[in-house]
Each structure stands twice: as structure tokens, then as C-alpha cells.
């Protein structure tokens, strides 16, 4: 079996750690691994496949001989993505830098795997909250054509990085000790609170995160006519995002039919037994690759509507796992042309 030289950019961050973990679990045919990060991480040591590797500072020549460059996200994507492509690497990027570029495919393997075929060196990984939503939506869209989506997200603090996790932990201790909770990462206290604000506000009063969900879904579904309205909320949960989704379809789809369609859908696990209080929760979705769907029911406010609840680990399926799955598509399709 052919093996590939792979670089992970941002290897020392939360998503970088997950990428290395998933690469090992999925047994990708790795010949050499190169761990790259910023200057402050240069010289750190990390273990991959039982061997210790030194983290190097990312530079343009870091990509010489690299087949696949997995970018964990951040400013490095804009600075070094094109440099990697110049040197013959295929870039799989977790940042938002290229997602809406018409020359860059935006891919979720369960949704639009065919789009990897027209890549020109860079493939974008969608926003984490978009990924789990479209994995659940696509089989229903194929069956009944979705006209409208209304989604509210309940997003874990780890989506904002390790500093956000630390802040939640600190605030819980402060409040337990009857101290004033200090907010630095988030605009307000997140412990025992909800913040209906993720990313910056735009002129239309939606946040950038909310518009990402709408615009990215349209791009991957190749359908600009689908109406999508999102409200994104940060919640005091460490890991795994949850979403309440309401859809309206052109064709009538019963809850029972939707349940059966989703049970057969790739990457989806249906957990839907209200009588026995069985439904998806972040507690059980964390550290897994699947998208969990439950609370599937017909919308009593319209004739062709469905309502359901979706949970997934945003560090894995929402970032690292999706990126590794894209790499698997490239290898399977022989789409890495050094």
C-alpha cells in the first residue's frame, strides 16, 4: 500500500491533538509525519504511532515532500496554505479562510464527497456547527427537498479554545467560593449562564457564526434557494455541540419515515426513544465521530415540517475527523498529484 507524507499545522492545539489522534485511529497510511506550529511551540515533543516527534516552526519550506497538509485552523492557513500548494501538497484547511472561495471545495464526506474532485490544491473544512447539521439534513434533503431550516445551537466552550475551558473551570470555582466570576475570554460570565453571541455581529444583526451556517450549507448543497436562519448560543458545557433543528420540506415526510432514513444515513446514529428518556446528549457524544439525532417529531405548526435534536463532538466530527475523512477521500480517489 502506498504511504503518504503528512504535515499537521497547529499540531499542539486542541484540534491538532485531535487530528493526530484520529489519524492513528483511522490507520491512515502515513509514511512520515511532520508536526508544525508557531515559534513558541518549536522544540516541543509529541508522540505519534508510539514514536516521539519534535514540533517544528512552520515555514514555507516545511512542506517540501509533503503530500497532505492538515491545517488545524488560525492565521497560518492564509500565510502558509498557498506555500504548501506551491510545493505540491494538498491542503485540508480547518480555518474559515477559504470556505466561501468559489475555487475551493467545501466538503463533508457524508454530504458532498464528489466535490473533492475539483480541488485546485486546497479543500476547506466547514464550520463545526455546520458540519453536524448538514450530516443530519442531507439524507432528508435528498428524500423530500428541504425548503427552510431554522436552527438554534448550544455550543460547548471548547469551541472557543483551551482558554475558554480554563475560564469555565475557574468561574465555577470562583462562584463555589462565593467570589466574583471574572470574564476575559467571553464577554460575560459563562458559568451557570448562556451567551447568545458567537463570533462578531454583522450589519444584519446576525453573528458571523450564524451566517456561516447558512452560507456554507447552501454551498455544499449546491442550492441557493434553501432558506436558513440560525441562532448560535454558547453554553457552559465543556465539549460537544447540540442543535435544535426545524425544517420544512417540499414533500411530506413523517417522523417515522425521517427516523428510518436517518438510521440508514452514513455517519448518523439515531437515539430516539422518548418513552425511555433516550435522546442525544453532549455527555455521551464526546470523543466520538458520529452525529447523533433524536427527538424526531412532526412540526405541529406547519404541514410539511419536522423537528429534531442533533449532537456531535465539535473537536472530532466538527473538525479533526472531518479533515481526516477528506484525506481518506483523496487517497481513495487517487487525487493527490505531487
The H-assigned helical ranges of 177-320 are 208-221, 255-263, 282-285
Nine cell digits for residue 153 = 445551537
What is the phi/psi pair of residue 286, to 5°? -60, 140
229 is catalytic: no
- Pairing mode of beta strands 305-312, 291-298: antiparallel
> Which one from 17, 128, 141, 222 is the annotated catalytic residue?
128
Q: Which residues pair with 292 in a beta bridge?
A: 269, 311
Beta-bridge partners for 242: 154, 311
CA-based Rg of the chain, rounded to a whole angstrom? 20
The residue whose grid cell reads 457524508 is 110
Report in angstroms the alpha-carbon separations of 100 from 97, 200, 214, 215: 8, 17, 11, 8
3-class DSSP state of 43: coil
Q: Is residue 133 a contact partner of residue 213, using CB atoms and an 8 Å limit? A: yes
Answer whether 177's CB lies under 8 Å from 153's CB: no
Distance CA 31, CA 29 (A): 7
Active site residue: 17, 119, 141, 241, which one? 241
> Catalytic annotation on 53?
no
By CB atoms closer than 10 A (0-12, 13-18, 19+), residue 16 is buried
Specify the DSSP element, H or E, that contains 68: strand 68-71
Residue 37 near residue 9, CB atoms below 8 Å: yes
Which residues are the active-site residues? 128, 241
Amino acid at each position: 500500500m502506498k504511504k503518504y507524507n503528512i504535515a499537521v499545522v497547529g499540531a499542539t492545539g486542541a484540534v491538532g491533538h485531535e487530528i493526530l489522534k484520529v489519524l492513528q485511529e483511522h490507520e491512515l497510511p502515513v509514511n512520515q509525519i511532520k508536526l508544525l506550529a508557531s515559534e513558541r511551540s518549536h522544540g516541543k515533543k509529541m508522540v505519534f504511532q508510539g514514536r516521539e516527534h519534535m514540533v517544528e516552526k512552520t515555514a514555507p519550506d516545511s512542506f517540501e515532500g509533503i503530500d497532505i497538509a492538515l491545517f488545524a485552523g488560525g492565521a497560518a492557513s492564509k500565510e502558509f496554505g498557498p506555500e504548501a500548494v506551491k510545493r505540491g501538497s494538498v491542503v485540508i484547511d480547518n480555518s474559515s479562510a477559504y470556505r466561501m472561495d468559489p475555487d475551493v471545495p467545501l466538503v463533508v464526506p457524508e454530504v458532498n464527497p464528489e466535490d473533492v474532485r475539483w480541488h485546485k490544491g486546497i479543500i476547506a473544512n466547514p464550520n463545526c456547527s455546520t458540519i453536524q447539521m448538514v450530516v443530519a439534513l442531507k439524507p432528508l434533503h435528498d428524500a423530500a427537498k428541504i425548503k427552510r431550516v431554522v436552527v438554534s445551537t448550544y455550543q460547548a466552550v471548547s469551541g472557543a479554545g483551551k482558554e475558554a475551558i480554563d475560564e469555565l473551570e475557574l468561574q465555577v470555582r470562583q462562584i463555589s467560593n462565593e467570589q466574583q466570576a471574572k470574564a476575559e475570554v467571553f464577554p460575560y460570565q459563562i458559568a451557570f449562564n448562556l451567551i447568545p453571541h458567537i463570533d462578531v455581529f454583522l450589519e444584519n444583526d446576525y453573528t458571523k457564526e450564524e451566517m456561516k451556517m447558512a452560507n456554507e450549507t447552501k454551498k455544499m448543497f449546491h442550492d441557493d434557494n434553501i432558506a436558513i436562519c440560525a441562532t448560535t448560543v454558547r453554553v457552559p458545557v465543556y465539549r460537544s455541540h447540540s442543535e435544535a433543528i426545524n425544517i420544512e420540506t417540499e414533500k411530506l415526510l413523517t417522523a417515522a419515515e425521517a427516523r428510518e432514513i436517518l438510521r440508514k444515513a452514513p455517519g448518523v446514529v439515531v437515539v430516539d426513544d422518548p418513552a425511555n428518556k433516550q435522546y442525544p446528549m453532549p455527555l455521551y457524544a464526546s470523543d466520538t465521530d458520529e452525529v447523533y439525532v433524536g427527538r424526531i417529531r412532526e412540526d405541529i405548526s406547519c404541514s410539511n415540517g419536522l423537528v429534531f435534536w442533533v449532537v456531535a463532538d465539535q473537536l472530532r466530527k466538527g473538525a479533526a475527523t472531518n479533515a481526516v475523512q477528506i484525506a481518506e477521500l483523496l487517497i481513495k480517489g487517487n487525487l493527490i498529484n505531487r
